[in-house]
Structure 1
Amino acid sequence: MSQEIEFHFKSPNDSPGYLLGQLTMLWQRKQKRVLDPLDLTQTQFVLLAALGWLSKNNNSVTQVDIAVQSNADRMMVSKVLRTLQEKGFITRQEHEKDTRAKTIKLTSSGEIILQKAIIEVEKADLDFFASLDTQLPSFNKNMVQLIDKNSE
């Protein structure tokens, strides 16, 4: 005999986690379409963008800074940054004060590819979220609230 599986939510459309998962997959597909021609993955773009943001106010951005800014696992950040270095988009050098840390900088080709990627990703985002229209600021505020509440 099989027993009936019970769900808290009446349907998938009542489950915020299920809906977030579906939305994330659709969004990632759109991002992949614009990042593939630039030879970047979504993760590589996020880390380059984090480095770009952090570099505006800090000349010695570390891998830890990038991991914190992007809510990413430190080991994964290290591996992805190695790949970005192999592609010639970043340099990794010993930190002048902390010998355990690496200072990460964009190369000129990294700056060029990041700028191209930002333009494409922002266009894709505006298109993807266009149906929210005037509700977009509220949607963003709710996402920030969830990130803040659930960050470790």
Structure 2
Amino acid sequence: MRRERHMSSEFNEAEESPGFMLWQVTNLWQKAIRNALEPFELTHPQFVLLFSCKWLNEHNDHTGITQVQLAQHAQMDVNVTSQVLRTLEKKGYIERRPHPTDSRANIISVTKAGDAAASQAVKAVETEDRAFFSGLGHEIKDMNRLLRQLARR
């Protein structure tokens, strides 16, 4: 009779795996953020792109930003960014107009309704972030430093 081989892990406990722990914490955090965004009828990707667009435009003298710039800032796939922006445009939160010098690009700006939605939603998201990460106390700075280190890969 042949014995089946079982895959094993180098970890004795699931909690020893940084990837598994990151997966669990990410899922818990995303659920909390989904709940915080629910009253605004925004998904998390919609919020990230809407607020990023608002933030980038404010820091770019409101000259507008391109979809590629927005995708790079959010570290989001350009095609996914395009789909989410289409939804935000239908909601009346952003406007796209042709780029003055690049016929392949559009300039993206936030409408008054989008600005109001982003401003309200960011308060809810930041409140949820503070609550979610409050257990870390002063160690939050260490966590942010480590996450920035991983993000540079």
Tell me whether the two structures share a fold, i.e. TM-score over 0.5.
Answer: yes
Unaligned runs of 5+ in 1: none
**Do 1:60 and 1:95's aligned partners in 2 also have CA atoms closer than 8 Å?**
no
Residue of structure 2 in register with 1:113 after alignment: 117
Residue of structure 2 in register with 1:23 after alignment: 25
Choose which of 11, 14, 23 in structure 2 pairs with 1:12.
14
Equivalenced residues, count: 149
CA distance in 2, matches of 1:115, 1:27: 21
CA distance in 1, matches of 2:37, 2:74: 18
Residue by residue, what CA displacement relative to the aligned partner does 1:13-40 show, whole Å, maximum 9, x if unpaired?
Answer: 0101100000010001000111011010
Deviation of residue 3 (structure 1)? 1.2
Choose which of 84, 88, 92 in structure 2 pairs with 1:84.
88
Residue of structure 1 in register with 2:58 after alignment: 56
CA distance in 2, matches of 1:76, 1:19: 26
Residue by residue, what CA displacement relative to the aligned partner does 1:75-110 show, whole Å, maximum 9, x if unpaired?
Answer: 000010000000000001100111100100000000
- Is 1:41 the equivalent of 2:64? no
CA distance in 2, matches of 1:145, 1:125: 20
Choose which of 138, 142, 147 in structure 2 pairs with 1:134.
138
CA distance in 2, matches of 1:131, 1:47: 28
**Do 1:89 and 1:111's aligned partners in 2 also have CA atoms closer than 8 Å?**
yes
Which AA in structure 1 matches 2:121?
Answer: A
Give aligned-pair identity as a percent: 36
* TM value normalised by structure 2: 0.95
Residue of structure 2 in register with 1:65 after alignment: 69
Deviation of residue 57 (structure 1)? 2.4
Indicate the structure (1 or 2) with the bigger Cα radius of gyration: 2
Residue of structure 2 in register with 1:100 after alignment: 104
Q: Which runs of 4+ in 1 moved over 2 A?
A: none
